[in-house]
Structure 1
Amino acid sequence: MSLEVRTVVESEYPEWLRAVHSGFLRPPVVADEEVADRLPHVDLSRVLGVFDQGRVVATFRSFTQELSAVGGGTLVADAVSAVTVAATHRRRGLLSRMMATDLAAAKERGDAVATLIAAEYPIYGRYGFGPATWTTEWTVDVRRAGLDPRRSGRPGDGGRIDFTDGEEIRKIGPDLHRRLAAVRAGIVGREARGWDVGTGLAYQSHPWVEPFYAVYRDEDGNPQGYAAYTCDDKWEDGKQPLNTATVRDLIAATPAAERALWHFLCSIDWVTAVKSGHRAPDDLLPLLLPDPRAARVTTHADMLWVRVLDVAKVLEGRTYGASGSLVLDLRDADGLAGGRYRLDASPEGAACSRTTGSADLALDIAELGTLSLGDESVVRLAALGRVEELTPGAAALADVLLRAPRRPWCPDIF
């Protein structure tokens, strides 16, 4: 019996959401409150389901997203989320059908890229996605960090840290987030609903635990960063505290704010460990401590995956710290963005267009996704056999042009 792939209508949304819960191993039940909270924020024309005799057996959703590029520019992305296939219907090409439908629509709209957070690594490369950012989590042993507990909680630059609440974070957070995106590639837009969910105002599928909110203000009283964190309640024998502060969100628009917030978190009474949450792999945290070894890496993994849909928009939509020209021969099995392109880049700007000239580098479109935000080395990909160097020295030149000064970072899961 054929399986129908199509968009979902409003009356089918609760059943579609139940299938999402089931696919992510959550209880397969949907509360009326959840439907009422989510549905107004969903574009049903971009919600796909696979139907087997009226039952949803696979799900897929996309939405418009802003993605920060190297140098602070913005790319329009087709953000892919809520991808599931029921265990009873695997290996039937259902994801491939949904993905092809969505990417074709994104290409038609003129989106520069598609993005997603991959629950499993091996799935999305075959659709042209490449891992473009990575995430690292540290656990700081506060007692080993070497900070002076009498001083580390008070900024030494004339600023101060105040406790606040979710209401203020919803007011000051968006501007701080935009300021971060202007200096760091890989930041995805956080709309009003994202701030509501992150501060407990919207419906929560898990029991909500109100975090502590701390905001850093500079000497003029202007907010420059904030942290949201929770603390457990653990004590060892002899009434010695063993509490852990777990960071849910920390956005700093300046290095001073970043330093002040991490030092504050490591100075809280009874807290002997700080879990950093998702951070960039080159985060300042370890080096802000007198003893960087006190920050132990507990997670390091791929985060944001990028699928290039418009090569010119991606390569022209960023800045370059040096001048040079490259011809890229891009292979795209899905026929969405393949071909030969010439990039002429300089600190003043860039131009990218199709060409018939001889190629300097040959690579799959997924590898361009991996390189798109400036994180990966072309020389390293060439050593792995994932980029073919056709002109001697082209890989090294590509590194000079494409690598970003700071590694891209995506703090949000969507």
Structure 2
Amino acid sequence: MPEPVPDAVRAAVLPLAAEVLGALDPGAVPASLAAVRRFAPRRRVSAGAGPLWLAVERDDAFRARVARAWSHAHPGLAADLLADPPAAGEDADRLDLAVGAVLLRPDGWQARVSAVTTPPAGAEAPARPDADPAHRAHRAEAELRRLAARLTAETERADAAEAELVALRRELRRLRSDADRSRSEARRAAEHAAEVAAAAERVHAETAKVRASADDDRRRAEDLARVAREDAAALRELAQVRVRLLLDTLVEAGSALREELALPPATRMPADLVAPPTPGPAGPAARPTSRGRFADDPALLDDLLAMPRAHLVVDGYNVSKLAWPDQSLAEQRRRLTERLATVAGRTGAEVTCCFDGRDADLGTRAPNGPRGVRVLFSQGEIADDLIRRLVRAEPPGRVVVAVTSDRALGADLEAAGARVLPSATLLARLGRV
């Protein structure tokens, strides 16, 4: 167990440790000395002696800082203590040597500390420190060096404090300027906020007026809508009565005409009665209106098929080869006729689809065509001529819609009174099926 350090050595170490503590940056202060550092410089030694000495004994980093400060004030003694072997002679002050030994901790430092209280070997009586003039001169020189080092350190500290003071004053001026600017901006912001609040109040008042006016307009509109609904209901009822009366009149007139003429019910259509080709000119017939639609508009086809007793005549392969060019002819016929059957079922129109007979070993009419679609194959003629005869067989005034992209055939069909639409229009209509 190490021997206790004499009080004289401890008393010499503590002021230096307190001085070093005051010069440390806040981040480098040991946790055990944080409270001591907040003391006034004159009270650190007296009030914080215990924590200071424990830090010197146990905190190697703090003791190293104190040792550097002591070595700066006693460079000769520090060099002698750290020499191997130690070169400090008997003429050196034993207290200074003990302080250096406690701080630097060279080999055998405890002996140096014990020498403070142990008289030199062979001495008859302890000599007074001030009895020898050389000893006093050495002590004075050592004290002078210590004071000079301390003066240098204090001067450097004063210069640093002055520089810090200048920087703090500069920072204070900047902060004051920023504070003035902030107050000015805050004042402007407050004025702007007051203006915005006043504008918001005005907008709120205007909004309330507009809301009240809108409520009045809504009530008036609801009243007008109620009256309009009542008037519309009355007009609708009147129109229904008129239409019912007119329809009853037409039905009765038609029944009377059928009885008068003794007309049997229609069992066959004109397309069923198409005979072999016979020469003879056919005059142009009236065409239904398109309502301003273009020929490639599928809606035009819908409008035409929605007319009473409309007849759709399709150039089969002209349409199917455009839609499914990679499929076989039989598959093309199947796909086209199935889709045409759907159109016939939805519109109620008569649908006839014509194919060239040389491409199929069939008769004039397909035996198993889809429901609602008349499938015809030309025999001894091309399908174009069959389509021409079908259109010419229709009575004038009936809506006949022919679908083909063959220009020559289309011109002949238009001359015969049919409305000709391109194949792409029908395909666009079939795409919605």
Assess same fold via TM > 0.5.
Answer: no
Give the strand-richer structure, 1 or 2: 1
Give the helix-richer structure, 1 or 2: 2
TM-score (norm 1): 0.16
More contact order relative to length (CA 8 Å, sep ≥ 6)? 1
TM-score (norm 2): 0.15
Computing the radius of gyration from Cα coordinates, the structure with the larger value is 2
